[in-house]
């Protein structure tokens, strides 16, 4: 697998949910980013050697690395809607996690994804609820 293939596979898995992909490369919580309700964005964070034994050994399937991504899920908050936005956001978080770790996909067949942490913020003066997942994808880096 290559870094761009890991990104493509992660975005493809999130596209199976009912959320819409935000087109801004900034993500959804940056001040100038386009925000939409029930939107997601994926940004690559970096690469590091995998924590597994023999991670630096060159094998026929490549060197094992871990690539981290920031996945942001955005929901608009309407003061008159009560807890509707957080309830929908939590349901979408659950759907996103299920989609990322679903078996039998390119992401889980060629790699090993895991959700490392989840945090939440209210950008835009509280008009939006954004959950940020840090997702790690461990795979053999293709060297050919």
CATH number of the domain encompassing residue 123: 3.30.2000.10
Query: Could you tell me the residue range of the domain that residue 103 belongs to?
Result: 3-141
10 HSE (CA, 13 A, CB side): 31
| Spatial contact of 118 and 131, defined as CB atoms under 8 Å apart | yes
Q: Which phi and psi angles does 96 have, rounded to 5°?
A: -65, -45
Reported as a single tens digit per residue, the pLDDT across 5-45 is: 999 999 999 999 989 888 777 777 665 556 677 889 999 99
Expressed in angstroms, the distance from the first to the final Cα of the chain is: 10
- Quote the number of domains for the chain: 1
User: What average pLDDT does the segment 63-72 reach?
Assistant: 92
Residue 54, sorted as left (phi over 0), alpha (psi -120 to 50) or beta, turns out to be left
pTM of the model: 0.86
């Amino acid at each position: 697998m290559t870094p761009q293939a890991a990104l493509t596979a992660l975005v493809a898995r999130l596209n199976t949910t009912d959320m819409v992909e935000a087109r801004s490369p900034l993500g959804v919580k940056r001040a100038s980013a386009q925000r939409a309700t029930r939107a997601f964005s994926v940004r690559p964070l970096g690469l590091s050697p995998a924590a597994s034994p023999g991670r630096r050994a060159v094998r026929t399937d490549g060197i094992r690395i871990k690539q981290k991504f920031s996945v942001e899920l955005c929901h608009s908050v309407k003061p008159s809607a009560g807890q509707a936005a957080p309830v929908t956001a939590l349901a979408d978080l659950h759907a996103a996690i299920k989609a990322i770790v679903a078996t039998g996909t390119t992401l889980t067949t060629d790699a090993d994804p895991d959700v490392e942490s989840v945090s939440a913020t209210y950008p835009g003066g509280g008009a939006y609820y954004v959950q940020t997942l840090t997702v790690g994808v461990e795979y053999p880096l293709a060297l050919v």
